[in-house]
Every structure is written in C-alpha cells, then in structure tokens.
A = this chain, B = another copy of it.
Amino acid sequence: MKHETRYTVIGAGHGGKAMAAHLALMGFPVTLYNRTAERVSAIKQRGGIDLESGESGPRGFGRLERVTSDMGEALAEANIAMVVVPSSAHAEIAKAAAPHLRDGQIVVLHPGRTGGCLEFTKVLRGEGCEADVIVAEAETLIYASRSDGPAQARIFSIKEAVPLAALPSGRTARVLEALADAYPQFIDGATVLHTGLNNMGAIFHPALTLLNAGRIESTGGEFQFYIEGVTPSVAAVLEALDRERVTVAAAVGVRARTGLEWLKMAYDATGSSLYEAIHNQPGYRGIKAPPTLNHRYIFEDVPMSLVPIAALGQRYGVEVQTIDSIISLACTIHRTDYWRRGRTLDKLGIQQLSVTELMRYVTEGHSD
C-alpha cells in the first residue's frame, strides 16, 4: 500500500537531499527535482544519495527513480510534491508548477515560514491553475540535516511532532493521512495562520543577527550565536518581538505559542524569561553565529516572516514597532526594500479580507 504513494521532492539543498534519500530508503518511489541541473548531476549519475545519520537513524544508499530539472517530468506521476526550498522561492516554484499540477495532487511546503500556502495558492490562481490540488505547509522543517557532498546527506535529528496545515484547513486531515506512512510525526496544525504565526525563526533569527552585526562581521561568526549572542538586552528585544507576534496572532483569532512556550515544548527548556530559557537549552551550546550578514536569517526571514507578520499587524490594528525596526535595519544593511520584496498582504491574496473573512478563507477556502 505505502509504495503506491509517489513522492517528488522539489529542491536539492541540505533538507531536500535528506528527505529524498530518507523517503527512498523507506521504500517509496522518489523523484528529485532541482531547478539547476548541475546541482543534481552527481546524484543523477550515481542514481541516488548516500544518507548518514546518528545511531538509530536512517542510513544507506537512497536510490531515486528519477532526477530532473524539468518540472513537468517531476510532477507527471507524483502523488505528493514535497517543496524543500527557501521560502523566497515558493512563488517561483508555484509559477513553474502551475501548468503541470493535476487534480488530487498534494503540495507540502517544508516549511511555509509565514504565509507560504497563502502565497503559493495565490500564484497558482494567478497562473490560471484550475486543478484541484491541496496545498499544505509544515510549521518547521522536520529534519535537522546537512549535505556535505554533491550526492551525500546527513540527518542529525528528526523532529517528533511537526504541526502541519492545509489551505483550507478542512483538507488538513487528508494530507496527514497521505503522509502518515512516511511521516507519522506530522500533526494537525489548525490553520495556515497558526503555522505561519508560530514561526519562531521570525523572532529569533533576524534580531539576534542584527544585534550582533558588528561581531559577526568582524569575527566571521566565530562565537556562540545563542549562548554569547543572546544577552539580557538582546533577549529584551526578542521578547518585544515575540509579544508583537503573539498580539498580531490574537488579532486574527489565533492563539500563538509564546517563545517561552515553544522553548518548553521543543526542547523542554524553561526559565522566567527568554534569556533564561535560551541559556537553559543545552542544544544551543556550540552553535556558531552565521559567518556573514548575507545570510538567510536576514534575506529569507525578514521578507518571508517578519514582513507578513508586520503587514497583518498594520492591517488589523496591532502596533509592531519593534518588528518594524528590525525590518527597517535589515533594509538599510542589505540596501534592499524588504517591505516591497516581502510577503505583503496583496501577495498573499488577503488584503481585502476582514478578520472574519480571513478566518473563513483559511478554514473553508473562500471568504464569502
């Protein structure tokens, strides 16, 4: 039964290679797509990916059915397309996939960041895609993994529970069921507003990077990002960002987890403040800072996570002064208008919706 589910993994980065190899080792027929053919030529030549992992984790040669940079070929026989690319590429993937999607196919974004499903769906519609496709998003990438060679991947850990939501959420159960043989770890994440507004990277990554900007650039990131980078004042900014995110969520009817609740849930790390809880998480020890500010912690997390949260705040009347400050500094440092390049509400297709209409849209798929 399970071998009848045909997977296509879209994106051959650290996460995509690990997922493709793991799915193949589980026995599923897997196609791997990557936009640039050269990036997957070694995998194509070898016919698969060597997977390593810790003691009890999956390992071995994951033989792939097909490796391609042709989206039509990639999607032709797929039941489930697993999109494992930076969220800044979601719109482009949607545009490339639109002509090839067929009724009954499932697309899962790993992860959606904030507004991934909303943007993906908006692009599909704009491209005239009328196929009855279910688009879903995971709250975070299920793997901690790394690829150190062209046809290699290493899995450090697989998360035990990852919330996932479809747009509309009435179809989430069908996605969970389709994924269950491969990934029983996915659980019902309520709606895509929930998965998108529980995006903790939005809170931690850009501010931590910017408030350590001088040190990152003058040392090449040679310090402990969380242990040395999260000081009491930096944590005060993280807490302010977190309060704004949770308040924006409340304004659209979503009870988001606080940063403290998330640290408790994800790592069993506790404390009376984010500063304490982060320093009580042994897993943060040894994690180095990014080597440069030209890093996804800014160029992905700002436009794809902070901008849509700020945009929701502005639209529904929540002050997001601290989020605005971080976005603004990122724009200055990267000389880029992230406000314009980021996920604004019109790119998500929701700028005209009242709160009631928005909630109806994410649960039922229509706002009226």
Contact = CB atoms under 8 A, between A and B. Distances in A.
A236 interface: yes
A180 to B, nearest CB: 42
A208 B211 CA distance: 10
A43 to B, nearest CB: 36
A196 to B, nearest CB: 24
A139 to B, nearest CB: 26
A177 interface: no
Interface stretch (A26-34, A81-89, A120-128, A225-233): A225-233
Interface stretch (A144-152, A213-221, A299-307): A213-221
Interface in A217-268: 217-218, 223, 228-234, 236-237, 240
A118 to B, nearest CB: 27
A351 interface: no
Contact of A293 (B213, B228, B233, B322): B233
A332 B213 contact: no
Contact of A217 (B217, B223, B231): B231
A287 interface: no
Which of A217, A324, A326 has the most chain B CB atoms closer than 10 A to its own CB? A217
Contact of A231 (B213, B325, B332): B213
Interface string A55-78: 000000000000000000000000
Q: Which secondary structure dominates where chain A touches chain B?
A: helix
A215 B217 contact: no
B217 A232 contact: yes
A110 B285 CA distance: 47
A240 B336 CA distance: 13
Given A213-B231, A228-B218, A237 B325 contact: no
Contacts of A230: 214
B237 A332 contact: yes
Interface in A262-295: 293
Contact of A329 (B208, B237, B335): B237
Which of A214, A240, A293 has the most chain B CB atoms closer than 10 A to its own CB? A214
Contacts of A356: none
B324 A236 contact: no
A352 interface: no
B233 A229 contact: no
A321 interface: yes
A158 interface: no
A27 to B, nearest CB: 46
B332 A236 contact: yes
A225 to B, nearest CB: 9
Given A218-B229, A218-B231, A237-B329, 4 more contacts: A212-B214, A214-B230, A215-B223, A237-B333
5 contacts: A208-B214, A215-B228, A233-B333, A240-B332, A321-B328
The 4 A-B residue pairs with the shortest CB-CB distance in the complex, in nearest-first order: A217-B231, A325-B325, A212-B214, A215-B215
